[in-house]
Amino acid sequence: MAGRPLGTMVTYGYPDIDLDAELGLAVWMGASLLEILPEWSRLPDPALVRRSAADRGLAIHSAHGCWGGRAIRARRVDLGATEPVVHQESVEDLKRCVDWLQAAGGTHLVVHPGGLSDPAEVLHRRSALARGLIELAEHASGTKVIVCVENMPPGVHPGSRMAELADLLAELGQSHLGLALDTGHANLNASASEETRAAGSLLATTHVHDNDGQHDSHDPPGHGTIDWADWGRALDSAGYNGPILLECIRRIRHSPSSFKPEILAGIARIVPTSPLVPDRL
């Protein structure tokens, strides 16, 4: 399904990164959709990024929600936390992310299921995660926002394997919940194709980047060991026609030639790129 639109993550609200330059780079890459990574502690204006994106002919698809120390008011964000105060602060911050994304015009909020944790605590953390996701789904009710749980690198219990997240979401049966497939994380645990097939029809969005199977380096596709052709077949089998959303903007920002659009041929629809080099956009 080459009709899947290409998107890219861009940062917003960071004092050392210019939003207009980020948007220019997205246009140069041939993206039509954006995921916004806000500096949540600053809670930057959602209306401004919405207008700025539209002026460039771009639409906001998603935002990356708070996690860990990247918080708004919480001391740390961990949806699997078993400590009541930490868990509730995490949920409340992510509700703020839902509201922010709605104001920005996006529809998919990517959230982490938790952080590094003890496998012996998996059942308690799974219960906490379930409660948090239900609260977020209820908060998103009446909006167009889907809360998308991302598969994580090894060491997150539950959350490192897509099958356990898919099982949880199937149990919860909430229409405002979906899954976000991170290809790099999948490549550290199994393969992008295997984890995509495990997500199946619950797959709602993607984070696309490459690595060597050992380090979460967030390289552009074609600079690691992921079998991209096979991943495309896995997307077809899952019936996924959402965006192919790159999560390697930092690498491409520093080395535009590292972006190889031909790697995604047959997987994503890429808008013809500008002939200008990114630093002149």
Q: How far apart are CA 220 and CA 216, in angstroms?
A: 12
Q: Is the pLDDT assigned to residue 105 strictly greater than 80?
A: yes
What is the percent of the chain with per-residue pLDDT over 70, rounded to a whole number? 96
Q: How far apart are CA 73 and CA 65, in angstroms?
A: 13
The confidence score (pLDDT) of residue 280 equals 45
The confidence score (pLDDT) of residue 273 equals 65
pLDDT in tens, 135-187: 999 999 999 999 999 999 999 999 999 999 999 999 999 999 999 999 999 99
Q: Is the pLDDT assigned to residue 281 strictly greater than 80?
A: no
Q: Is the pLDDT assigned to residue 1 strictly greater than 50?
A: no
Residue range 15-28: mean pLDDT, rounded: 97
User: Please, what is the average pLDDT of the chain?
Assistant: 96
Q: How far apart are CA 31 and CA 184, in angstroms?
A: 20
pLDDT in tens, 206-227: 999 999 999 999 999 999 999 9
Tokens 């209306």, residue?
A: 47
Mark out the alpha helices in 180-223 (DSSP H runs): 183-189, 192-199
Residues contacting residue 19 through CB under 8 Å, at least 6 positions apart: 10, 12, 49, 52
The confidence score (pLDDT) of residue 63 equals 99
Token digits for 126?
């799974």
The confidence score (pLDDT) of residue 271 equals 86
Let me know if domain 6-280 sits in CATH 3.20.20.150. Answer: yes
pLDDT classification of 3: cutoffs 50, 70, 90: confident
Residue range 72-82: mean pLDDT, rounded: 98
Domain ranges of the chain: 6-280
Residues contacting residue 128 through CB under 8 Å, at least 6 positions apart: 79, 80, 81, 82, 87
Q: How far apart are CA 259 and CA 254, in angstroms?
A: 11
pLDDT in tens, 29-54: 999 999 999 999 999 999 999 999 99
Residue range 251-280: mean pLDDT, rounded: 84
pTM of this prediction?
0.96
CA-to-CA separations, 267 to 133, 186, 242, in angstroms, rounded: 30, 18, 11
Q: How far apart are CA 205 and CA 183, in angstroms?
A: 11
